[in-house]
Structure 1
Amino acid sequence: MKTIKGPAVFLAQFAGDNAPFNSLDGICEWASGLGYKGIQIPTWESRFIDLDKAASSKTYCDELKGKVQSYGLEITELATHLQGQLVAVHPAYDLMFDNFAPDDCKNNPKKRTEWAVQQVKNAAIASKHLGIKAHATFSGSLLWHTIYPWPQAPNGLVEMGFEELAKRWLPILDVFEDNGVDLCYEIHPGEDLHDGVTFERFLKATGNHKRVNILYDPSHFVLQQLDYLKYIDYYHEFIKMFHVKDAEFNPSGKSGVYGGFQSWKDRAGRFRSLGDGQVDFKSVFSKLTKYGCDVWAVMEWECCIKASAQGAKEGAPFIQKHIIEATEKGFDDFAGGEIGKEQLKKILGI
């Protein structure tokens, strides 16, 4: 067993134009003051990191790491959710996802994809420079528009979709292998990797590439009505990252899993601040500890009701309360003793 590290916080939802959220120094001081021990850095936020520079300069990474450590924090992981999304975009989403790309890549899907691929590769090198062993991203999606197909999906469509997805990711995965970093896909609705079956399809399509791993976030499984505890039983060996985010699912006669195109606060499934939703975090932390998952517990705040300032303040003590110090001895060790082979035979009556 292994003790989960934390508490840590994902900075993506807190970055902004106003202090202390508009600089690395400011947000580090803020996070440390709330009791967090680590930060997960979104690499698309130039306020916090220059990803290209981090990939090309170990000195820059040493300075970045030193700055974060001066506030009593560690960089838990880097994240490329937005860039990873752009590795695979169905044309129906081109206009909306162009918002994630630099201006010189807009209205040019081919150039946008090439930029995204290089960004994720850069993140592998930057992670190595920072001494980080895991990285967070999205898979992107070529098939999501067929999730509830009408007309029915033609034979071979799904297989071709995952073959193409793997084809795009394999060169990236090889760079992660070269740099000794695990690539952890956040299993998330809207992505082609959104549950256990799709993760297995992708893993198989990559030839079981050893760097294909999972960022586990139970909130996304609550919204899908998937057993998020059994998921750990199935996939614990792949879980290398952990987002601590709460959610609830309250279906009615008018709205269910799909949400009716309503705002987040009116959906049956919605994200909540830690402790305000339905996730059984005691069991989640117990299972991850039992299986020896070597992860940071990183709060990702997304709530449609509670203010982010309150959610952040409550997050660190909530996570700290749930971290289990893994035992190094059995509770009944006091009653044991060394017994030789012949004595064992006598106990068995043989």
Structure 2
Amino acid sequence: MPKLTTIKGPSIHLVQYLRDTPPYNTLDGLARWAASLGFRAVQVPADPRLIDVHRAADDQAYCDALNATVRRHGVEISELSTHLVGQLIAVHPAYDALFDAFAPEAYRGNPKAREEWATGVMFACAKAAKRLGLKAHATFSGSLAWPYFYPWPQRPAGLIDTAFAELAARWRPILDAFDEAGVDVCFEIHPSEDLHDGVSFERFLEHVGGHRRACILYDPSHFVLQQLDYLAFIDIYHERIKAFHVKDAEFVPDGRQGVYGGYTDWQDRAGRTRALGDGQIDFKGIFTRLAKYGYEGWAVAESECAFKDPEVCAVEGAEFIKRHIIPVMGDGAFDDFAGSGLSRDGVREVLGLE
């Protein structure tokens, strides 16, 4: 049985707050802002306004300076994140034009060059994470099979296995680089990614030979939108959960729409993300399970509410996470005061074995 752990937090994912105006345009400014709201850490996207990951891969003094920058405000870096970059590791041609915006202009219109650029960024992030003293990295898997998620028209035999074999081939060298760095790659299990539920994660894991660095970023909001049991998911996959986005959601179907949402905007969908505490997710159950299974990572607030101002979400999010973190007991049990004190021989006697 894993040892109970007190989850670290609160941290906040900075990607939703990155702007071109102070204090949201520098790591120093965002760290100061996050600290003022009560956060203890920041999840830093691999954006050149915040970090030069290629320099960080080779320059320990630069990484020390980055850590010093955030620690000056009483926070630390919980993880680096490369969701947009990870997406570019595998892009189905149907999405080329839309995802081109995630890459520098020089690589747009050239899917192979774009993939090679993204792979290079991931290699750099592995080294950067090690120099920064991090244990987990947040990303997306990308998707080759997603356009075929619903089996109509009938999928040709071998299509899904071929897609996952290719996805695994692209990620395996990256996973090996992170393994060398001692850092877990935490794929956010997310609709539109090929890794979007437990079954698809298991399929990927099989294709990468059970790679020990192929791990999970757990975000229950995505499971509510798919109507997946997000608490049972922890029971099944807790050994692979190494990162955690704290994000709320609700699912309110009616006679006109359900999971697929009828192409409506976020405010009108049956399933939509909400500010922490405004949705339907049982966070007490989630934090209890993660503490029970020995989750050693951070609880990271992510603000993508369809209604509430993101600044308000951040303020409320820090306090929400603090209230839900369980300071676990040390050695012993809650009912030790009522212990019998029997020795091993005494136990055998009680059982009538002596």
1:181 to 180, 183, 191: 183
Residue 338 of structure 1 deviates from its aligned partner by 4.1
| Gapped regions of structure 1 (runs ≥ 5) | none
Residue 195 of structure 1 deviates from its aligned partner by 0.2
Partner of residue 216, structure 2: 214
After TM superposition, the score normalised by the length of structure 1 is: 0.98
2:346 to 329, 343, 346: 343
CA distance in 2, matches of 1:107, 1:190: 21
Residue 325 of structure 1 deviates from its aligned partner by 0.5
- Post-superposition Cα deviations, 1:261-296, rounded to whole Å, max 9, x if no partner, equal 111000000000100001100100000001011110
Establish whether residue 170 from structure 1 lines up as the match of residue 172 from structure 2.
yes
CA distance in 1, matches of 2:122, 2:222: 23
CA distance in 1, matches of 2:29, 2:190: 30
Residue 337 of structure 1 deviates from its aligned partner by 4.8
1:36 to 35, 39, 49: 39
Q: Please tell me the residue identity of whatever aligns with 1:323.
A: I
CA distance in 2, matches of 1:64, 1:202: 34
Partner of residue 260, structure 1: 262
Partner of residue 93, structure 1: 95
Partner of residue 117, structure 2: 115
CA distance in 1, matches of 2:255, 2:19: 39
1:233 to 232, 235, 240: 235
Establish whether residue 21 from structure 1 lines up as the match of residue 38 from structure 2.
no
- Post-superposition Cα deviations, 1:16-45, rounded to whole Å, max 9, x if no partner, equal 1122111111111110000000000000x2
Partner of residue 69, structure 1: 71
Partner of residue 136, structure 1: 138
Query: What is the root-mean-square deviation of aligned Cα atoms in Å?
Result: 0.8
- Post-superposition Cα deviations, 1:99-151, rounded to whole Å, max 9, x if no partner, equal 00011100000000000011111111000000001000100000000001321
Alignment of 1:256-335 (within 5 A): 256-328=258-330, 329-335=332-338
CA distance in 1, matches of 2:9, 2:48: 25
CA distance in 1, matches of 2:251, 2:223: 10
Residue 339 of structure 1 deviates from its aligned partner by 2.8
Alignment of 1:236-255 (within 5 A): 236-255=238-257
Q: Please tell me the residue identity of whatever aligns with 1:139.
A: S
SS in 2 for 1:13: helix
| Gapped regions of structure 2 (runs ≥ 5) | none
Q: Which moved more, 1:144-153 or 1:181-190?
A: 144-153
SS in 2 for 1:231: helix
Establish whether residue 8 from structure 1 lines up as the match of residue 18 from structure 2.
no
Aligned residues: 349
Q: Please tell me the residue identity of whatever aligns with 1:228.
A: Y
Residue 95 of structure 1 deviates from its aligned partner by 0.4
